[in-house]
Chains A and B, each alone.
Chain A
């Protein structure tokens, strides 16, 4: 039974995109944080 179970495949491309997207989100958050506290 166990052997017939299809192996879960990780969608690596999606994970890479999510990691980069998270960092873009950090950059945007930092931009607004700088702006809020008068850096620009």
Chain B
């Protein structure tokens, strides 16, 4: 009843046409997933998928990686920092080529259902269990965040009840993931990617169209360049700089290799390929399209930036943050800042019009106007910083960094009705596609690596399909529960993300040894993994403590964990007199 009242009370930014498009798109995806996988399935079909062509594999891999936060946060990132984030994705093609050469043929030859199954064939049960349990912990927590992260943003801007939004996203995913397993996840991800790309391309066209008549696309890029948003490639090597081509080629390659090669939520996508060739082409499709796709999403953010140079913006894009401060004793100070902000916007907008005219007519005062605009923008940024500080005092729990709210603010206030519904369908589709892969992989790992492995493989096939369905449901409910309580604990999201990243390097190290260092056996790799994980955690703790010591930036902990695991495993194996004694299998 409460849910019904909440639904009836939905008003504001969305009209009937938005609701119609949003609900029909999401309902179609769910029903399509259930319909395409109706009937009895074997465990091979339910867990592995098994007969996908390359385009299904490719789109499924792409949809798994692109979460809702990709479409909310990435344009906001470009709005504030420009296009340089795209460099991070140059690690991806290197990683997928390595996976195509080594990982895929071996996974296929051994006919494994999960990546961790391979570790028992290569080493022993304890290494397989270690890797699968680490995966279950990190993905089990991350699945909750995949639902929660977009839900908190949408609930803030649309005034929807957060707990119901968590439940609705979770239940929609559970329906088709439980019913159809891997195949349902794969077929729905194709539809989701079509919705996502159609929505983003339409949004891009409309943003460019809404710029003043004399501002061409080329002029808009020049304006973005003058505002330092067009630096895409950075060749300067610096460990502290998060995005330069070197950290991408080295740090991000390791991260992508871990993610695509050893994370079951991705491995399961390409294991569903019909043959080695179909799996490889599906992955290479991502190696080819990921960089241009991310560039395009960032470019949408840059165009939103140019658009907002001519149009009004709130002092803070997060309405929940503004509400919190305006309801506190700091409201008068915040209102003062808002007034200052309005005045700055007025002078910036008139200057921007003159600057746009100067660019269009190629007049001589472009540089001077650009410099004057830069000064105004700096003042605006300083004002926004002051506003954030006030918000943080008024309500320490509310998110003051409003980068993630920029694009959704633009969608709701400047796109036509109908398209608002489509763009919300894009965001929710992306949330659903990533969550579906996670629940699907969590269920497969629990069924294959834990349940089947430790209860004996004497049950019939139908039993494991049923078990897979129950585990999917269970993980779905855990994800919804976690999404519902995550906001109650400070910094929990950050903690979950850190836990995930801290294990990635070591897990990759285990797989690299498995594939490339034949000499190393079970005991050596197990001890090496534990030692290197300890070193990574110590490095992280030393870095994050307020002691003035900076060992390694976060992205570089991945290569450290991987390389240390490989070297330690090799050394440990070598110093043993009898390597055979190390292998308990």
Q: A residues touching B (Cβ–Cβ < 8 Å)?
A: 10, 12, 15-16, 19-20, 22-23, 26-27, 30-31, 33-34, 36-40
Contact of B288 among A19, A37, A38 (CB under 8 A): A19
Tell me if B277 and A10 are in contact (CB < 8 A): yes
Tally of B interface residues using CB under 8 Å: 28
List which B274-323 residues lie within 8 A (CB) of chain A: 277, 280, 284, 287-288, 291-292, 295
> CB within 8 A of B94: which of A10, A20, A26, A39?
A20
Indicate the member of B86, B101, B232, B277 with the most A CB atoms within 10 Å: B232
Some 8 contacts from A to B, beta carbons below 8 A apart, are A19-B93, A20-B93, A20-B94, A22-B288, A26-B292, A27-B233, A36-B225, A38-B222
Q: Is the CB of B224 within 8 A of A37?
A: yes
A38 and B233: CB pair below 8 A? no
Question: Contact check: which of B100, B101, B225, B287 meets A39 at CB < 8 Å?
Answer: B225
CB of B230 within 8 A of chain A? Answer: yes
- A23-B287, A37-B222, A39-B225 known; A31+B90 contact, CB < 8 A: no
Overall SS of chain B's interface:
helix
Ranked 8 nearest A-B pairs via Cβ: A37-B225, A39-B231, A37-B230, A30-B232, A38-B225, A23-B93, A19-B287, A34-B232
Given contacts A34-B232, A38-B226, A39-B232, contact A20 B292 (CB under 8 A): no
Least CB distance from A27 to B in Å reads 6
Q: How far is the CA of A15 from the CA of B100 in the complex (A)?
A: 11
Cβ–Cβ contact B291 & A34, under 8 A: no
Q: How far is the CB of A24 from chain B (nearest CB, A)?
A: 9
Contacts of A40 in B (CB 8 A): 231
- Shortest CB-to-CB span from A33 to chain B, Å, is 6
* Residue of A10, A31, A38 touching B232 (CB-CB under 8 A): A31
Chain B residue contacts of A19, Cβ below 8 A: 93, 96-97, 284, 287-288
Bound together, the chains give a CA A39 to CA B284 distance in angstroms of 31
- Contact flag A38-B94 (CB < 8 Å), given A12-B280, A19-B288: no
Residues A27 and B90 in contact, CB atoms below 8 Å apart:
yes
List chain B residues, Cβ under 8 A from A36: 225
Residues on the B chain within 8 Å of A26, using CB: 291-292, 295
